[in-house]
Amino acid sequence: MSYKITCSVLAFSFFALSSSTNCFGQEDSEKQLLRQTSLRGSITPERAWWDLKHYHLSVSLDPKNKSLSGSNVVSFTAIEAGDKLQIDLQEPLKITRVSYENRELQFKREGNVYWITFPNKIEKGAKHKILIEYGGTPVESKNPPWSGGVSWKKDDKDNDFIATACQGIGASIWWPCKDHGYDEPDNGMKISVTVPENLTAVSNGRLKKTESNTEGKTKTFHWEVTQPINNYCVNLNIGNYVNFSEKVMGEAGELDLDYWVLKSDREKAAMQFVEAPRVIKAFEYWFGKYPFYEDSYKLVQVPYLGMEHQSSVTYGNGFKNGYRGRDLSGTGVGMKFDFIIVHESGHEWFGNNISMKDAADMWIHESFTNYSENLFVEYFFTQKEAEDYVIGCRKNVRNDTPIIGTYNQNKSGSGDMYYKGGNMLHTIRHIIDNDIKWRSILRGLNSTFYHKTVTTQQIEDYISKESGIDLSKVFDQYLRTTKIPKLVFHTDGKKVAYRFDNVVDGFSMPLKVLVNGKLTVLNATDSKKTFEAEKDVKSFDVDRNFYIDTMIE
């Protein structure tokens, strides 16, 4: 009996110890995860003291082994004194060596972060560069561009067809960098890519030189970006490419348009890519000059749907209109244009020219670019079709979580930043009710914040100031809640009583309504108001361009 009791006690003690160990292990794991999230998403002291000036990324790819190796020269200026900096590189890739002024620097890994220590403190104002060598087998993207990493595909001729995509997960999934949106290299970057000699490597900016490496049976393609560029826009595209090009006259003069496609798709691309100069024409009208004349505009065929890589817009929409051949709005308008060419090119203005500082503000990239789709329609077709398109896309809104994400954690908000964000901007346009002013605001954003990183507050303040309307509550409503304003009303003879429900405190909006078919503007708030018509109210209809719900009380 005593033996059994002893065994039971021992068993209980072991169970308690195991549970305690698992508990502590889980707590440690959660702390490590939070630590990594914070390091990735915040401006740490080890990031803040130095200002990024230039990258020279050199990378060699081995398609057979799905591996890469290379280096990155990071040039910076110390804006404060410092002796330890943070460089990001995600596992399983590894930094193998860091050198500075012909001597090796000490470095230590903490998850996806490397701490690099200088032997002496770098003085404020000093300009320096470090050479980071790295390599390994990068994460393979399973569902690009929604999952980041490298895609190792084959084309229909069994040639290697390789591409990178890293929005969200970050550029450090395939190369070492300062992986945070707030600091872009002021003087651009060089990108040198070495691939097997039968392949062509296309990256951002302009191709400066191609070298044949006879011993290794490889070629190196040297690309150069002269303008600031956000990390996730840097890309590699490798395949059996052919190139054709054209020039267009834009607001800032002659602009080079380059197209890189698989040999087998050359004819289809020549027909479909007529959309590209149309995009430049429409968006220069609405947003101002194309932001990267110095680096040109490119469309590059890739083995996935496409993405907004700066001066290297990637394309995989099958050389047909719509989004993979379908209309996202359900109105038929979406089949009038190639969604990927239009949308991803719109990002050259919103996302690449104007870039978010923090991933929580990703709506600045996606809401404006979503809205650019119907601005393209309005420019080349009709305003009604443009309205049909943006309003038709409301059916895709989920209202699951707010559009703005979590700050300092590299966490963007809801996918509603696309369709809901676009409809928010469409609503604001109709609140302003002056299309000349609206266009000047869109162009003004791109000139005021030209090649800059910004916050949501800066964008909100600019639009409110330039429109002469305090839109702060409108932004709060659509960006920071999941609630759609609901206009509650009832009629009694000639009178209409109305108020907003489901809104933030202090919300108000001037609404265009048709009362008995006559246009009227109601300044609706969350307090009940009344309006008296000339005759008994037989019909009361809110202008469809305002993204609200209605309910008869």
Looking at residue 293, the DSSP 8-state letter turns out to be G
How far CA 124 is from CA of 191, 356, 514, in Å, comes to 29, 27, 63
Residues in the chain where the model's pLDDT stays below 50: 1-21, 23
ω into 291 cis (within 30 of 0): no
- Find out whether 493 and 482 touch, Cβ atoms under 8 Å: no
Residue with tokens 């008995």: 516
Q: What is the pLDDT of residue 22?
A: 52
pLDDT tens per residue across span 2-33: 333 333 333 333 333 344 445 456 777 888 88
Whole-number average pLDDT of the chain: 94
Task: Tally the C-alpha atoms within 13 A of residue 78's C-alpha that lie toward its C-beta.
Answer: 18
- Cα separation, 458 vs 461, in Å, equals 5
Element (H, E) at 218: strand 218-225
Q: Helix 339-346 and helix 363-380: axis angle, to 10°?
A: 130
Which class in CATH covers the domain with range 245-482?
mainly alpha
SS3 1: coil
What Rg, from alpha-carbon coordinates, does the chain have? Answer: 27
Q: What is the pLDDT of residue 25?
A: 67
- Find out whether 499 and 510 touch, Cβ atoms under 8 Å: no
Express the helix, strand and coil content of the chain in percent, nearest 5 each. 30, 35, 35
Q: What is the pLDDT of residue 29?
A: 82
44-239 folds as: Immunoglobulin-like (2.60.40)
Sign of CA dihedral 270, 368, 411, 71: positive
Domain boundaries, the chain: 1-41, 44-239, 245-482, 486-552
Do domains 44-239 and 486-552 share one topology? The answer is yes
- Find out whether 489 and 521 touch, Cβ atoms under 8 Å: no
Looking at residue 443, the DSSP 8-state letter turns out to be H
Looking at residue 412, the DSSP 8-state letter turns out to be -
Nearest to 553 by CA among 523, 536, 520, 530: 530
486-552 folds as: Immunoglobulin-like (2.60.40)
The amino acid present at 81, given as its one-letter code, is A
pTM as predicted: 0.93
